[in-house]
Structure 1
Amino acid sequence: MSISRSARLCALAGTGLLLLAGPALAAGIPAIGIENEYADVIAQIGGPYVSVTAIETDPNTDPHSFEVNPHVAQQIAAARLIVKNGIGYDDWADRLIAATPAAGREVIDVQQLLGLPDSTPNPHLWYDPATMPAVAAAVAADLSRLDPAHAAVFAANAKKFDASMTPWRQAIAAFKAQHPGVSVAVTEPVGDYMLQAAGVDIKTPFSLQAAIMNGTDPAPQDVTTEMHLLTHHGVDVLVYNQQVTDPLTASFLAAAKAHHVPVVGVYETMPSGYHYQGWMLAEVNALRHAVTAHQSTETLQGHQTP
């Protein structure tokens, strides 16, 4: 999602809300993850003691196209726990939260949780392996304040969540050790944190990534650089944001295919059928398949559990 477009996101929110927890949770603590990957983590930590709603849920649509509606405002007004990303990614939620104050409500701003400045250039924090363990711990702490009787359950679930991140951490470490020198082109900085953790050399100028992310016209020389990378064997893989496309990014995708550069699709919104951990592991596996088997994974499909 664009940072600079956040001024337009006063019209944001889900046209369809996803209830991540089961029907038995109707009496649980009402909680919201603005992005569905955060909602998924809340549900994993809270278990049967939370009723979780996600607002941004559809990985097949541009997340900038959501529109605010009264139901979203009502959901936020009723929530006792809210997790949002920050760094300009979901500023619209700040305005709704401020407009519907509630005594005792807990709000976790992931940017603030991680101590990141407003100038942080890449808002896609959930691709950083350090992010969600910190979020899970904060969720457990806030739920314990809201429901002290089940604090031990929340703490145990947070410990279980952290352990469930091990396969992703191991996959990143194994890729970094086994495939040094891998280079990629990207269309946006969506997966950059994960790529950097895996030791990948991102060849695309960040100025091009930011321009596409922010919906501004990239410098012609940056476009030329990207096309040269894809048409002259300058990279091993194209990491392509499947969720936000335009004619320019489509031209990069076409160039990659024409010159046999494998493509790995990444998302801003967690795809259906995944929990967060399975989604992240699937992205690393797709990268590995691209490097070792020259295999593209443009879309993720699967049903994985932590």
Structure 2
Amino acid sequence: MSEQNTAPRGSRLRLNAMGILAAMTALLSVSPQTLAAEPPHPHIHAIGVENQYADIISQIGGKYVEVTSLISDPNTDPHSFEASPGIARQIAHATLIVENGAGYDDWADKLIAASPNAGRQVINVHSLLKLPADTANPHLWYDPQTMPVVADAIAEQLASKMPEHAAEFRQNAGKFRQSMEPVNAAITAFKRDFPDTPVAVTEPVADYLLKAMGTQNLTPAALEYGIMNDIDPAPQLVSEQNELLAQRKVRVFVYNQQVTDPITSHFLALARKNQIPVVGVYETMPEPGYHYQSWMLAEVSALRKALSDRVSTESLIAGKQ
């Protein structure tokens, strides 16, 4: 298994105060005159706060975009990400930013607000999908319906900035939708072949995908959301999860590869002891070797393999288990 973030998780939902202060200080040092003095660039400067969104921008924009992802390390807990002055400068120069929203990367809004830019467009995926303000699960990219909508929105924003290439951007969005067909077909086949499969999870990272695949998540919601929000689970919730694993009431254990602590490590060990296949999931797209579509297809394939062959896929990164 790859090395994981084992830092204290009390700050998972808060941006490090020193990081945000340093980042905003860096923004103040970037004067309008400095920005204006730079020669025009032939590309659109874009940011995908999480690398899965950066990947979609690249697929839609092609050679006309210069894309940066701010969170891409598979060993980093995105909830506890710390901004830096370099990231602040990247945001200051970007004219298209795609962020997740739903409380997942609110720190980015602070940096965006600190560098006003009338020509900048921000796509907040939570808002784009018109989801309720109190949406509990922020891992929106695991819903197979999300990224095609994001791709279309990116195409329209790029078209507004480069009208002469609008047809190409929209065509690329159409190609993206087509490229999701194998993923959707694999989801449909799983739901048909393994209906109502009982599963357990550590956190609601892949819950949208698991629901689309027709599985039954038996982990108490208070447990998985408590772990996500760094709340110590009640003993009775831990006992319920222990029973699911010890008595083999679930057929797969879905484990967040990017965050571990004593309680999740305990559940992982219990699943292994009872020969329950483990499938690792990620909060950011594994790199290198994946695009969003191949990542989602790999996760669906790993879940199928867990049921058909009782084989664990704890990591999607080659050479790491």
1:219 aligns with 2:234: yes
Paired letter, 1:290: A
Partner of 2:309: 293
2:201 touches 2:224 (CA, 8 Å); kept in 1?
Answer: yes
1:125 touches 1:131 (CA, 8 Å); kept in 2?
Answer: yes
1:275 aligns with 2:282: no
1:3 touches 1:89 (CA, 8 Å); kept in 2?
Answer: no
How many residue pairs align between the two structures?
289
Partner of 1:20: none
Partner of 1:84: 99
Q: Percent identity?
A: 58
Which runs of structure 2 are paired with 1:246-285 in the superposition (5 Å)? Answer: 246-272=261-287, 273-285=289-301
Structure 2 alignment gaps of length 5 or more: 21-40
Q: Report the secondary structure of 2:190's partner residue.
A: helix
The 4+ residue runs of structure 1 with deviation greater than 4 A are 1-4
1:31 aligns with 2:38: no
2:45 touches 2:94 (CA, 8 Å); kept in 1?
Answer: yes
1:6 touches 1:91 (CA, 8 Å); kept in 2?
Answer: no
Paired letter, 1:191: A
1:231 aligns with 2:238: no
1:48 aligns with 2:63: yes
Alignment partner of 1:114 out of 111, 118, 129: 129
1:9 touches 1:64 (CA, 8 Å); kept in 2?
Answer: no
Q: Report the secondary structure of 2:237's partner residue.
A: helix
Q: Report the secondary structure of 2:267's partner residue.
A: helix
Instruction: Give the distance between the partners of 2:302 and 2:57, measured in 1 at CA.
Output: 26
2:256 touches 2:281 (CA, 8 Å); kept in 1?
Answer: yes
Residue 131 (structure 1) shift = 0.4
Structure-1-length-normalised TM-score: 0.91
Structure 1 residues 3, 248: closer, same or farther in 2, change over 3 A?
closer
Alignment partner of 2:218 out of 184, 203, 220: 203
Residue 5 (structure 1) shift = 3.8
Paired letter, 1:125: L
Partner of 1:23: none
Residue 61 (structure 1) shift = 2.4
Structure 1 alignment gaps of length 5 or more: 13-25
Instruction: Give the distance between the partners of 1:214 and 1:199, measured in 2 at CA.
Output: 25
Paired letter, 2:198: S
Residue 118 (structure 1) shift = 2.1
Structure-2-length-normalised TM-score: 0.87
Partner of 2:73: 58
**CA RMSD, Structure 1 to Structure 2 (Å):** 1.7
> For the pair shown, which has the larger CA radius of gyration, 1 or 2?
2
1:87 touches 1:123 (CA, 8 Å); kept in 2?
Answer: yes
Residue 233 (structure 1) shift = 1.1
